[in-house]
A and B are shown apart, each in its own frame.
Chain A
Amino acid sequence: MSMLQQIIDRRLSGRNKSIGNRERFLRRYRGQIREAVRKAVSGRGIRELEQGEDVTLPRRDVSEPTFGHAAGGNREYVHPGNQEFVKGDRIERPQGQGSGGAGSGQASDSGEGEDDFVFRLTREEFMQVFFEDLALPHLIRTQLAEVPEWKSHRAGFTSDGTPANLHVVRSMRGALARRIALGGEDRKELRRLMQELQALQAHPEADAEPVRQQIREIERQIEELRRTARHVPYIDPIDLRYRNRVRTPVPSAKAVMFCLMDVSGSMDEARKDMAKRFFMLLYLFLTRHYEKIELVFLRHHTQADEVSEDDFFHATETGGTVVSSALVLMRDIIRARYPSSEWNIYGAQASDGDNWHQDSGRCRELLQESILPACRYYAYVQVAEAEQNLWQEYTQLEGLCPNFAMRKVASAQDIYPVFRDLFKKEGVPA
């Protein structure tokens, strides 16, 4: 009787058993993790949002305390590898080691004295925290967190695959070629021997013993060659060809997203940070629908510039504010580079609502007449509470144009509602 109960293949069962424990770990440190995500978001470009992030926790915070001994008192340790000591020798106390330079079993398991506990949030976990901050509804979270839809199409042939994808003609062609290639030499030799045989059989002295012996010899060789030829397999696994299919992402249209932001003196870091999340969320939405997205950054105070993303978020200007300058620039850029017949145009504007009072009317006109007709969607957030004339002017547009949304945003979770209509249209082809 064998003592073996059984061999079990567990490789496919019970994977990711630790997920539940990981969730609990993340839950426990959600405060620190949110802080880390917040920092990461400020440090990242709009396009780089969807990545994991390293989170550092102080070792002290993740330790599990137990009763144990500290240095001091009276103790004795046995060590291996004595080189020169004899009984009674005195050794200087090692410095910097709490446990007196010795640890049988104690030093190894506690992991004390190591650096901070660093671990990596996956892309999904990072996005979940990001969404939590923005208080996104769960349905929207799944939509956004989803990897874009894929479509599979043919791309040549491969040498391995499922039987269902076997390409018979290709495989047989390969088999034929292999048989020809492997049998070539032999067949040439066979032909030569056959000719020789015929010649010998036609020989006048075909019945004489030396010739007959020669004939027998050649017949033997022919038989041999035929036998080898039979050993070349008719079809071999290496002949098999399968249809290959590759997956490509479905969205294929292109879009441009205009980010407009007031960078006058009143826009401080916190407000800019809020605006950044607003832009990120829109960008994230667009990446689910378009393969190619261009970003245009327009910042303005009394006049507007097109700038790089870095300058957009990090340079501060002072002085007054003329919002229409940015709208004019946007209109001009659309006309010059992004004809609305080819591009899906999205606008996102953030400001503290402060504007030169005679300019606000003009802003509304610009939007209504030239920008909104060209745009699929235009969202405005005001990152300050005050009711200013720009807000009042924009309010008039709200009922009029279905592709326009506006919102006051005091904290990150107020951002999402401005996009509510946009996300609601999910079913309609964008």
Chain B
Amino acid sequence: MSDFTPPVFERAAQRLPSPSDWTFELIETYHTEIARTARAFGLDTYPNQLEIISAEQMMDAYASVGMPVIYRHWSYGKQFIATEKNYRRGHMGLAYEIVINSDPCIAYLMEENTMAMQALVIAHAAYGHNSFFKGNYLFRMWTDASSIIDYLVYARNYIAECEERHGVDAVEELLDSCHALMNHGVDRYRRPQKRSLAQDIARRAERERYMQQQINDLWRTLPKPAGAAAEADAVRRFPEEPQENLLYFIEKNAALLEPWQREVVRIVRKIAQYFYPQRQTQVMNEGWATFWHYSLLNSLYDQGLLADGFMMEWLASHTAVVFQPPVGHRAYSGINPYALGFAMYTDLRRICEEPTEEDRRWFPDIAGSPWLKTLDYAMRNFKDESFVGQFLSPKVMRDFRFFAVRDDEDEPELEVSAIHDDGGYRALRESLSRQYDIGNREPDIQVWNVDLRGDRSLTLRHTQRGNRPLHEDTPEVLKHVARLWGFDVHLESVDGEGRTSYRRTVSPKRS
């Protein structure tokens, strides 16, 4: 599609009008210019659908995990109340933009924004995020942009139907339990088949019937014919391999769930899967969008289209967004993904265009290569963990003044394990890469065994990394697991030496 040669623009005869109030015509005009420039840089996107919404609607979207439609649940009400309260008190500005990974890609523009901010949002969301959604391998593999909105509408209607048929309380309890396991309801390595929504619905009835049969079969209580078969059966484990997707396992194997409950579990699981790539590409995605709004708007300025005041206005927002408070600062709450991502893409471009001797040593393959091609490659084929592992340069580490701190509970003090110097770059990069590894951030809990011949109890196994224990919510979450499973649930937490350091059993409440 693109040959990755940096575009050359002609200078425009006249600037675009830049009043502070936007109009529909102006949005269209700016969009046309931004789109033209983005295409010249080779950004490949879904078609855009820009939607003007009010602050209140922004809060609505905010509260429902950023989606335009979602089934009803109290937690979204809670989220809305919290958002509204902070907004009203001025504790928090609303996000300038929300963008939805769908085809066409929906980007929200808030009516309160000035024209400069709308242009910023269009460049950031409609071209930055949009091209990332379309290009990045995780999104390509795990999400289906063309059907997500339809699926959410289907999910909302289905759950509303369930509420009508089985009561709001029953559905709420079930959703609570599913939400508790949402992070553990994704396939991390396998790729789902792509199917259209129509096929999905058509298959549902069939699946429900079949599943129920299967499960009954699994729990069959008829006496087995005596002999060797029974013995072999006793040794057979179920599941044969540990399963990482708890919701999937429950959906397929929990004996007491009714068909509609299985479908609800499935809906939550599907939505969790849809969000899974976003959780793994925060730095990359935000960095990419920030890099492109910065590059596109600057390019428009160089083409003589933007006024100075207009530039100042969005640059002020841009600067605030990429601010990284140092550790110990009042506002410090970890590494700002916008700041890190933006710095990394910017530096990647620099390495391509003006490589230093250090860059040639660290990045022999990309130093001096065409920058558009290299950035495109980086955007498409990585997630945060590997992106940092691959592209974090010594210069960025120096600029951020990164340092790694080791926290070992057996030691009385923390230890600085690496800093931004020659001896530390590699260790620092590895450490930061690990930090973005979702398997490191979230505990590794898998289905270990089901006692098929005994009390039907489910055993989950937590494999500790660095001997890190589970936090205090654990018994509460286990209650949810037990509610879904219908029989006792055991959790064992196993440390590096294979010792079980924590064990807990929860029985479902019988109603």
Contacts and interface: CB of A to CB of B under 8 A. Distances in A.
Given A77-B404, A85-B403, A67 B72 contact: no
Interface string A59-99: 00011111111111111111111110111111111000000
Given A4-B28, A8-B50, A81-B327, A65 B473 contact: yes
B324 A27 contact: no
Contact of B80 (A10, A14, A18): A18
22 contacts: A2-B32, A4-B48, A7-B28, A8-B51, A21-B73, A27-B74, A27-B168, A62-B78, A66-B180, A67-B184, A72-B468, A73-B409, A73-B466, A78-B405, A89-B416, A90-B415, A91-B413, A91-B414, A91-B415, A93-B407, A93-B414, A119-B81
A128 B334 CA distance: 44
B206 to A, nearest CB: 31
A241 to B, nearest CB: 27
B28 A21 contact: no
A147 B81 CA distance: 25
Given A27-B168, A79-B335, A91-B413, 9 more contacts: A64-B176, A65-B473, A67-B184, A68-B443, A69-B468, A72-B468, A80-B401, A83-B401, A88-B416
Nearest to A74: B466
A105 B82 contact: no
A11 B54 contact: yes
A25 B435 contact: no
Given A11-B57, A70-B469, A119-B85, A80 B72 contact: no
B459 interface: no
Contacts of B35: 2-4
Contacts of B468: 69-70, 72-75
7 closest cross-chain pairs (CB), A and B: A81-B326, A25-B77, A73-B468, A21-B77, A74-B466, A65-B473, A70-B471
B478 to A, nearest CB: 9
B407 to A, nearest CB: 5
A24 B72 contact: yes
A103 B333 contact: yes
Given A10-B51, A21-B76, A107 B420 contact: no
A3 B45 contact: yes
A231 interface: no
Contacts of B436: 104
A66 B246 CA distance: 13
Interface stretch (B59-67, B137-145, B207-215, B255-263): B59-67
B335 A69 contact: no
Contacts of A91: 405, 413-416
B417 A7 contact: no
Interface string B71-104: 0111111101110010000000000000000001
Interface stretch (B196-204, B217-225, B291-299, B424-432): B424-432
B466 A78 contact: no
B235 to A, nearest CB: 30
B39 A79 contact: no
Interface string A203-216: 00000000000000
A67 B478 CA distance: 9
Given A76-B406, A78-B428, A25 B39 contact: no
Contacts of A105: 282, 334, 441
A88 B423 CA distance: 12
Contacts of A63: 473
Interface residues of B, number: 103
A305 to B, nearest CB: 45
B334 A108 contact: yes
Contacts of B326: 80-81, 83
A76 B473 CA distance: 23
Contact of B414 (A23, A65, A70, A90): A90
Contacts of A104: 334-335, 435-436, 441
Contacts of A22: 77, 80-81
B469 A72 contact: yes
Interface string A139-163: 0000000000000000000000000
Interface in B160-185: 168, 172, 176, 179-184
A8 B27 CA distance: 11
B269 interface: no
Contacts of A92: 413-414
Contacts of B464: 73
Given A22-B77, A62-B78, A65-B480, A5 B48 contact: yes
A78 to B, nearest CB: 4
B324 A80 contact: yes
B131 to A, nearest CB: 11
B435 A74 contact: no
B492 interface: no
A93 to B, nearest CB: 6
B408 to A, nearest CB: 5
Contacts of B50: 4, 6-8
Nearest to B328: A81
A94 to B, nearest CB: 8
B434 interface: yes
Nearest to B480: A65
Given A82-B419, A91-B414, A3 B81 contact: no
A21 B63 contact: yes
B268 to A, nearest CB: 13
Nearest to A98: B471
A284 B57 CA distance: 34
A14 B67 CA distance: 13
A28 B172 contact: yes
Given A3-B35, A81-B328, A87-B418, A9 B405 contact: no
Contacts of B111: 11
A371 B77 CA distance: 52
Contact of B59 (A18, A24, A65): A18
B24 A7 contact: yes
- Of the candidates B52, B57, B74, B179, the one having the most CB atoms from chain A within 10 angstroms of its own CB is B74
Contacts of B325: 81
Given A3-B45, A7-B28, A75 B418 contact: no
B471 A24 contact: no
A67 B474 CA distance: 6
A8 B47 CA distance: 14
Interface in A6-41: 6-11, 14-18, 20-28
A86 B182 CA distance: 41
B442 A67 contact: yes
A77 B333 contact: no
A106 interface: yes
A176 to B, nearest CB: 34
Given A68-B471, A76-B406, A105-B441, A6 B172 contact: no
